[in-house]
Amino acid sequence: MSNSASLSIKTASVAAELDKAESIARELSLAAKNARFVVFRAGSQAAGLTVITSYFAELAENTIQLVHTINDISMRVATDSVKEWKARLLLDRLKSAREDLFEDEHKQTLKRVIQQAMQRMHSISDNLKRELNKLDAQLEEIQTLMRAASVIVVTSRLESNRTGEFEQNLREMADNIQRLTNQIKERATESRRILTRDDL
The neighbour count for residue 163, using CB atoms within 10 Å, is 23
Outline where 43-103 has alpha helix (H): 47-100
Cβ-Cβ contacts under 8 Å for 39 (sequence gap 6 or more) = 46, 49, 50, 53, 170
Report the mean per-residue pLDDT for the chain.
Answer: 91
Q: Which pLDDT value is given to residue 1?
A: 61
- How many domains, the chain? 1
Q: Which pLDDT value is given to residue 101?
A: 79
Q: Which pLDDT value is given to residue 46?
A: 86
- pTM assigned to the model: 0.85
pLDDT digits (tens, 9 = 90+) for 100-158: 877 777 788 888 999 999 999 999 999 999 999 999 999 999 999 999 999 999 999 99
Name residues of the chain where pLDDT drops below 50: none
Count Cα neighbours of 176 within 13 Å in the Cβ-side half-sphere: 19
Q: Which pLDDT value is given to residue 48?
A: 84
CA dist list (Å): 200 to 87, 128, 137, 151, 178: 21, 17, 21, 35, 32
Q: Which pLDDT value is given to residue 17?
A: 93
- Distance separating alpha carbons of residues 101 and 107, to the nearest angstrom: 6
Domain extent, residue 174, equals 3-196
